[in-house]
């Protein structure tokens, strides 16, 4: 049985991940699917970091599933500052039926889940972004009608988005080529575990410094910002390190002719991706953003059907 919480993609078994993606496809076809799943239930969104997509997608998902949602930003709670996380988690558990946290430190998400007695979903931490990865996998699945055997190239920073992406792809047999500067490789422990999972599923995971090698023959190319929230002091250094990693028309010529482009947004046009690529027919980015809603609905249905 699935754990009560979703802090990382690896909290899901492979069969649960398969089911969740199929359910998300059904949610996309029918807005009213599961409309009573959260009837009489309330979900709190506890956000240290602001977000348009995560907030709106979860709020709409809860409402479409018949529930009520409460948003608590950093000014409302000052998580870990005005009062400790364990107090917030225990008190909120008396008021609401589920909690989505969006935090800086992953250990804060882990502490929140350990202290709460209702399902906790990680809406983003500095280590992983599992809800984004669900939308990414859904986007690939609907484009290709399969995941196993696809070649996905990721070009850019070895960050939280990449961590969840390789975890999910490894479970489902996707062949992933990652290109980052040597000093910005993904977390070694996550990489090691994902590599083992990829071998078991028939996928693969390889790192290289050359973005051209990663993109060659790719079915899809993924990128993300070079300077994430909280890294503003490193901006000059990071822009210099990633200059050769821009996703542009010249780079995409090395991929398959029908290769699509993914980005979790917000994007810094002219940095990690050009405006021309963002607006080209190859861009699946808006579809990918929409799929956050359907993936969130499927996740909530899975959690609350098991623990409601």
Euclidean distance between the first and final Cα of the chain, in Å?
Answer: 14
Q: Is 132 a catalytic residue?
A: yes
Q: Is 219 a catalytic residue?
A: no
Query: Which residue of the set 264, 282, 294, 296 is catalytic?
Result: 264
Q: Is 102 a catalytic residue?
A: yes
Q: Is 292 a catalytic residue?
A: yes
DSSP-assigned letters across all residues of 161-188? HHHHHHHHHHHHT-EEEEE--GGGPPPH
Query: Which residue of the set 53, 106, 129, 294 is catalytic?
Result: 129
Give the integer Cα–Cα distance in Å for 22 and 45.
Answer: 25
Q: What residues have CB less than 8 Å from 294, skipping those under 6 apart?
A: 24, 25, 27, 28, 135, 138
Query: Which residue of the set 163, 263, 282, 292 is catalytic?
Result: 292
Taking the alpha carbons of 125, 127, 131, 136 in that order, is the dihedral positive or negative? Answer: positive
Q: Is 129 a catalytic residue?
A: yes
Query: Which residue of the set 169, 224, 238, 263 is catalytic?
Result: 224
Measured at the CA of 48, the angle between CA 43 and CA 50, to 5 degrees, comes to: 85
Give the integer Cα–Cα distance in Å for 163 and 8.
Answer: 9
Query: Which residue of the set 48, 64, 132, 246 is catalytic?
Result: 132
Q: Is 264 a catalytic residue?
A: yes
Query: Which residue of the set 53, 102, 175, 296 is catalytic?
Result: 102
Catalytic positions, please? 102, 129, 132, 224, 264, 292
């Amino acid at each position: 049985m699935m754990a009560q919480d979703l802090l990382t993609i690896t909290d899901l078994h492979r069969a649960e991940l398969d089911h969740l993606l199929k359910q998300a496809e059904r949610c996309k076809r029918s807005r009213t699917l599961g409309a009573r799943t959260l009837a009489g239930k309330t979900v709190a969104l506890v956000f240290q970091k602001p977000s348009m997509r995560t907030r709106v997608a979860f709020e709409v998902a809860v409402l479409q599933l018949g529930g009520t949602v409460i948003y608590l930003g950093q000014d409302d709670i000052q998580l870990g500052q005005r009062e400790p996380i364990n107090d917030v988690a225990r008190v909120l558990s008396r008021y609401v039926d589920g909690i989505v946290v969006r935090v800086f430190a992953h250990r804060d998400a882990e502490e929140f889940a350990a202290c709460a007695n209702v399902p906790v979903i990680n809406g983003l931490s500095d280590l992983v972004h599992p809800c984004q990865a669900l939308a990414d996998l859904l986007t690939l699945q609907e484009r290709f009608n399969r995941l196993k055997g696809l070649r996905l190239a990721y070009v850019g920073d070895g960050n939280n988005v990449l961590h969840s992406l390789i975890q999910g792809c490894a479970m489902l047999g996707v062949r992933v080529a990652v290109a980052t500067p040597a000093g910005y490789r993904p977390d070694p422990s996550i990489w090691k575990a994902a590599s083992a999972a990829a071998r078991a599923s028939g996928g693969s995971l390889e790192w290289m410094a050359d973005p051209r090698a990663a993109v060659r023959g790719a079915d899809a190319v993924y990128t993300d910002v070079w300077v994430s929230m909280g890294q503003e002091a490193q901006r000059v250094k990071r822009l210099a390190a990633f200059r050769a990693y821009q996703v542009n028309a010249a780079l995409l010529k090395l991929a398959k002719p029908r290769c699509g482009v993914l980005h979790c947004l917000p994007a810094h046009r002219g940095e990690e991706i050009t405006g021309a690529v963002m607006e080209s027919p190859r861009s699946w980015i808006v579809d990918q953003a929409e799929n956050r809603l359907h993936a969130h609905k499927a996740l909530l249905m899975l959690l609350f059907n098991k623990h409601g």
